[in-house]
Chain A
Amino acid sequence: EAQVTQNPRYLITVTGKKLTVTCSQNMNHEYMSWYRQDPGLGLRQIYYSMNVEVTDKGDVPEGYKVSRKEKRNFPLILESPSPNQTSLYFCASSLSPPIGTITDTQYFGPGTRLTVL
């Protein structure tokens, strides 16, 4: 089944304790991205990756890191989480980057609900 998976689905942690949220897709998609979703603010892009070893900042990158060593995986790293990073996180992928007239739709993972105490 074509899908985007994220782990963990739920995570409660404390300020400053490094964590990684994994994201994997089995569709051979080039483009992957991370979003956070907060009430009233909608989905905001954190980082995106056009292809292996190519990553770039989205709208809200502060406090996050990513890597794209393999095409299928795009982990999100919080080196020193803070309470303002408490949010619902989504990983997404598409065959091609959403640029110009390219119309590949994005497939989203199930989400990771993170609470930082």
Chain B
Amino acid sequence: SQKIEQNSEALNIQEGKTATLTCNYTNYSPAYLQWYRQDPGRGPVFLLLIRENEKEKRKERLKVTFDTTLKQSLFHITASQPADSATYLCADNNNDMRFGAGTRLTVKP
């Protein structure tokens, strides 16, 4: 069956380090992947989108990569700050929006 998965439920890192979150998809090829941020008790907020023919996308301290060979997208936050602590979701567009379960990132001072 077609799946989009974020295998790490939680990630803890020290302030200033780079956080790397992983999103894997199986048995299909999405035309693009999106990354969202969700704070506790609030709706997801869109961050970045990357198309299948793009290797990398950047926005300020955020970087997303899309590897169609590995069937994987990586989401990086450089120079992480405690304010980056949140749950990050990846999503695809395979006829309807499907979301991974999310990775809860905690950045410690």
**A: which residues have CB within 8 A of B?**
4, 33, 35, 40-45, 48, 58-59, 90, 92, 98-103, 105-111, 113
Chief secondary structure at chain B's binding surface: loop
20 A-B pairs besides A103-B49, A106-B44 with CB distance below 8 A are: A41-B101, A42-B99, A42-B100, A43-B44, A43-B89, A43-B91, A44-B99, A45-B97, A58-B96, A90-B44, A98-B93, A98-B95, A99-B93, A101-B31, A105-B49, A106-B46, A106-B97, A108-B45, A110-B42, A113-B41
Check if B58 is an interface residue, CB within 8 A of chain A: no
Q: How many residues of B contact A (CB 8 A)?
A: 24
Check if B109 is an interface residue, CB within 8 A of chain A: no
Please list 17 pairs of residues, one from A and one from B, whose beta carbons are closer than 8 Å in the complex, sorted by A's number: A4-B43, A33-B96, A35-B99, A40-B9, A40-B101, A42-B99, A42-B100, A43-B44, A43-B89, A45-B98, A58-B96, A92-B43, A98-B96, A101-B32, A101-B51, A108-B43, A109-B43
With both beta carbons as reference points, the residue of chain A lying nearest to B32 in the complex is identified as A103
Q: Mark B20-48, 1 if CB is under 8 A from A, else 0.
A: 00000000000110100000011111100
Give bound CA distance, A58 to B96, whole Å.
Answer: 8
**B: which residues have CB within 8 A of A?**
6, 9, 31-32, 34, 41-46, 49, 51, 89, 91, 93, 95-102
